[in-house]
Amino acid sequence: MSEAFNFSKYKLLSFVNNPQDVKALSKNQLQLLCEEVRDFTIQTVSKTGGHLGAALGVVELTIALHYVFNAPEDKIVWDIGHQGYPHKILTERKEKMHTIRKPQGLSGFLNIFESKYDSFGAGHSSTSVSAGLGMVAASKLLQKNNHVVAIIGDGAISAGMAYEAFNNAAEIGKKMIVVLNDNNMSISAPTGAFSRYLPRLTTSAPYNKMRDMYFGITKKLGLDIIAKRAEKSIKDFAVGSNVFEEMGFRYICAVDGHNVEDLVKILENIKYNLNEQTPVLLHIKTTKGKGYEPAENAEDKFHGVSTFNIETGEQKKSGANYSNIFASHLTNLASEDTNIVAITAAMKSGTGLSVFNEKHPNRLFDVGIAEQHAVTFAAGLAIEGVVVFCCIYSTFLQRAYDQVIHDVCIQNLPVRFVLDRAGFVGADGATHNGVFDVAFLRILPNISICSASDEVSLVALTNILHKHNSSPIALRFGKSDVIKIYNENEQFYYGKAKVLKQAKNPQICLVGFGITVKNCLDAYNLLDANLQQQVSIVDAVFAKPIDTELFASIAQSHKHVICVEENSIGGLATILLEFFYNYKNVSYQYITLPDEFTEHDSTANIHNKYGFSAEKIVEKIQTFICLDNNYVLNKNI
């Protein structure tokens, strides 16, 4: 971990540890606190890496919220966790910020187990309004006199779940406050009609009427802070000026989200003077990456960064990754086959598809943060004969499970799912680990599942997906370093595994899948020569269908089989358990995740903890063979 930070250079932040300390400041001190929190955030993330741009954009909002409301009694519900760093700093965690995303350190997201000030866990998008509305309903039922504020971004509001919550909000009959953080950015530039609608709210006639109305009231309260216009009462303004009002919200026009004193005054007015039965939406305009020039000028506004040089903004370079290898190859395939299209759900850069977009801009569909729509949209393309690659992170596909079942698998449509970040993702933790996809997909009729173990197999399996037109199929690959196991001319076939090591005196067979193939090979290299002669290694390649011919042969020639799968129980390990059950001469064991969620840590530490590391695999081998033989392990262990 990095060393703790010296706060002595900060005039205010050195004394601010919790929201009560924020409230003790005068309003004219808040701007200085904003500057210090922003600087500290930049200093911290430059050393730890993490999510920077979104955090810098909400510094003023965060301070205003904690100045006006009384957390944790009042609930401040953040959407996603990318915006949460300033919130963590002000809620008794500034001294631990150097540990963020590190083993045993702070989570990179909001976590109810980490702090009483984190009202709701947030690792994925578009949940804040629904969760906040549930808290409002609970407050009404329990007769509590607290406030609930939900923050949602203009990118996150593209998800259908947000609209479901908006649609329901007015029915609860108790005031809820929603802050729409409009920075014209998702992870990259937002897409869709709603992203084009928001700017019109600030220029249209309805906006002008609302501004007149709102500032008529604020002027009466001595809060004439932006415009001096007509003196109209809120009762004189007809509901129906925009989509939010149509759904029963009191809409407050777009205001400068970086003017902390104005935000405080507006939030105080909302808190104390607006109707207690009507939900309120405050629309603020912010800049992602605010206050740090390299972030403001970057295409992704420094959304997710590695460690970087503060002076130049230059990030620590990372090597090649599987996302870019896949996207580059798909781009080449699409040049040859004009029927290929790709879909992403607001992850164009994360999935590497920016290069596809540059070459084939009319054949990349970025549907925004809307995984459910992405899957059914893909089904609609597929049913018309389009060769569609639906590229979604493993952990995000969970949000579209019903669509995978009903709209793809039941209709047996050849949608090609490409599951990026399959397996452990390290610092992003439980919400982002892609460790359930094999288990939840393998139970579905019609779908096939394969996993790449290196760059050669990734390219080869992408080719198999391209030609697979009879049913849905999923290709998964991890976030690990790119390795090369196979020769360039290695041939791969649908439903077929690969034997990487064939034992001369076969006793035990290690079966890897995806990233764990390398772990199995590393374990093999730790064995002495005598023991190596008894160990075979197989890359399963496919979890569904499995290579029954090969595994039947293994059952006849080996005494023991160990499956090593970086996934939950229910995946390939369980499939093989069911298969080898019919072979009573084979002793079968597996290494998978236990029945628990895995918190953020380095992948190496996680592998060692749960038995996936080469050393732990060797220990498993010992339980079969070394107990009855006097073999010694390589001294390099």
Residues acting as catalytic residues: 288, 371, 399
Q: What are phi and psi of 152, to 5 degrees?
A: -135, 140
> Which residues, in sequence order, are CB contacts of 19 under 8 Å at separation 6+?
66, 70, 71, 90, 91, 117
> Which residues, in sequence order, are CB contacts of 72 under 8 Å at separation 6+?
116, 117, 119
Contact 533, 505 (CB under 8 A): yes
CA atoms within 13 A on the CB side of 98: 8
What's the CA gap between 455 and 326, in Å, rounded? Answer: 8
Q: How many residues does the chain have?
A: 637
Contact 437, 373 (CB under 8 A): no
Contact 527, 621 (CB under 8 A): yes
* Helical (H) or strand (E) element with 267: helix 260-273
Kindly provide the residue ranges of all beta strands, DSSP E only, lying in 37-120, ordered along the sequence.
50-51, 75-78
Query: How is residue 617 written in tokens?
Result: 């695999």
Contact 433, 423 (CB under 8 A): yes
What's the CA gap between 392 and 348, in Å, rounded? Answer: 10
Cβ atoms within 10 Å of 200's Cβ, excluding its own? 11
What's the CA gap between 2 and 526, in Å, rounded? Answer: 32
Q: 301-335 burial string, b = 16+ CB within 10 Å, else e?
A: bbbbbeebeeeebebeeeeebbbebbbbbbbebbe
